[in-house]
Amino acid sequence: MTELVVTDLTFGYGDDPVLSGVSFTLDRPELVCVIGPNGVGKTTLVKCLNKLLKPNAGSVTLDGEDVLGMRLMDLARKMAYVPNRMDQVFRTTVAETVLMGRFPFAQWANSDRDLDVADRAMGALHIQAISDRDVSELSSGQLQKVLIARGLAQEPRVLILDEPTSNLDVRHQMEVMGFLRDYARGNGIIVLMVCHDLNLTAAYADRVIMVSDGGIYADGSAWDVMTESNIREVYGVDSKVIDAGGRPHVILFAGGGE
């Protein structure tokens, strides 16, 4: 099983630290959600893992190999990143976009296997029927699925997603979360995502990392992390956590108080 170890990660812009001394280990095939209020460094944290940002101190290792010292191309064969939007200027089809996930393996021509992998990635997300549509014409839900399929086409050991559900309606949110959880378990990979929605996280995450003020505030199962006191401390809001079919469910109170 793949092992991603983060040790004493520190990152800051100038003298302004965003993350300090963050450590955790991911070594099980599961869906891990990073939650926390705006501006605490959730996205910064995941971007430090795949060299999108260069940490000031600390280390990230993937199966014992130092990630920060790896070539981008080697890293892309092991770790995929799903952005939450795409800034494409020229017309690009869904199939072309998904096939780009094969780029780390085939820099020149696409082999039959590349086409197979892309085909299966599209099949897994049920987007084969729109394979020759222009990505700019898609709804945000469809586009998110295309970008996830591109990530899967990289056949990564670690899949990192930045708020993949932020622009989706409830049904698509649940579909994507359920898919990612099952995919992680079924294919033995680590799926790490930044998530804003407490209840989606509570319903689907195998593990929750709660970030607050540049550090990890709580780390564990949804029941362990998503408690009324943690939510009050980190988000500054009052809530009640109830049991909804075996998973925690957070009910927020308006007006902030008893």
**Positions in the binding site for another protein (CB under 8 A):** 47, 50-52, 71-77, 79-81, 83, 86-93, 95-97, 100-101, 103-104, 106-109, 115-124, 128-129, 131-132, 134, 136, 152, 154, 186-187
- Cβ-in-10-Å burial (0-12, 13-18, 19+) of 113 comes to exposed
Which C-beta is closer to another protein: that of 103 or that of 217?
103
C-beta of 199: minimal distance to another protein in Å? 28
9 beta partners: 22
Pairing of strands 158-162, 239-244: unpaired
CB of 255 to another protein, least distance (A): 39
Give the CB-side neighbour count of residue 162, counting CA atoms within 13 A.
18
Whole-number Å distance between alpha carbons of 171 and 167: 12
Joined tokens for residue 214: 């540049």
Smallest separation (angstroms) from another protein to the CB of 167:
16
| Of residues 95 and 198, the one with the C-beta less far from another protein | 95
* Of 53, 50, 5, 65, the residue nearest 156 (C-alpha): 50
Q: CB-wise, 75 or 218, nearer to another protein?
A: 75
Least separation in angstroms between residue 110's CB and another protein is 9
| Of residues 93 and 227, the one with the C-beta less far from another protein | 93
